[in-house]
Amino acid sequence: MACDRSGSILLPGPVHTILGWVVDGQEMPDGTLNRDGDRVWSRTGTWPQQDLSLPTTEYGTWGIRYQRGLLPPPGADGMVANLAKEILAATSGGTCRLPQRATQVQRQGVTVQMVDPQAIYDTGSTGITEVDLWIRAHNPYRQAQPSVVWSPDQEVW
């Protein structure tokens, strides 16, 4: 990139929104960057000079501000609220639906055996039915992070 300043720049992503960019400490007008996914191009054709030893408020520097990440799927806010409510109840002495460590209870001749909560947590579940069902609907393969495709033939940035 030091020799050719006309190409695109791959921002660490996923890039959600470009908030703005500064050149020589001055905010640049909207529309002076092109974006395609996580790549950006300067509409002026070349990138400005860059002195990485200085903050972006100084002459001879530039920087891009952006929000990184993906929007949560629809319904996430409600499920997070349900889980937070149960955690608050559990930590403040209230009644909650989070599973406790008991695996068997016997009352008046009736025995109820429950799953060990650690087994629930080990599968990535919370123990709250609607929260767990929502998570499974949006992440059926229980991926801990998004998949990536990589090839040794690809250029490394």
What is the pLDDT, as a whole number, of residue 67? 93
Look at the chain and report how many structural domains it folds into: 2
60 & 14 share domain:
yes
Q: What is the separation of C-alpha 15 from the centre of its chain, rounded to a whole number of angstroms?
A: 10
What's the Cα-to-Cα distance from 81 to each of 18, 75, 78, 147, 152, rounded to whole Å? 29, 10, 5, 27, 43
93 & 55 share domain:
no
What is the pLDDT, as a whole number, of residue 145? 81
Q: Is residue 112 part of a domain?
A: yes
Over the Cα atoms of the chain, what is R_g?
A: 25
- Taking alpha carbons only, the member of 66, 29, 30, 21 closest to residue 48 is 21
What is the pLDDT, as a whole number, of residue 81? 94
Q: Is 127 helix (H, G, I), strand (E, B) or coil?
A: coil
81 & 40 share domain:
no
Grouped pLDDT means (10 residues each) for the chain, 157 residues: 65 91 92 89 84 93 92 91 89 77 74 77 85 90 80 71
Please give the Cα distance from 36 to 49 (Å, whole number).
23
What is the pLDDT, as a whole number, of residue 95? 81
Last residue of one domain, picked from the residues 20, 44, 68: 68
DSSP calls for 37-68: TTEEEETTSSPPP--TTS-TTSTT-EEEEEEE
What is the pLDDT, as a whole number, of residue 157? 55
**Full-model pTM:** 0.54
Give me the sign of the Cα torsion angle 124, 129, 134, 139: positive
* Full domain range(s) for residue 41: 9-68
What is the pLDDT, as a whole number, of residue 125? 86
The full length of the chain comes to: 157
- The answer to whether the CB of 45 falls within 8 A of the CB of 77 is no
What is the pLDDT, as a whole number, of residue 110? 82
What is the pLDDT, as a whole number, of residue 111? 80
19 & 46 share domain:
yes
97 & 126 share domain:
yes
What is the pLDDT, as a whole number, of residue 54? 94
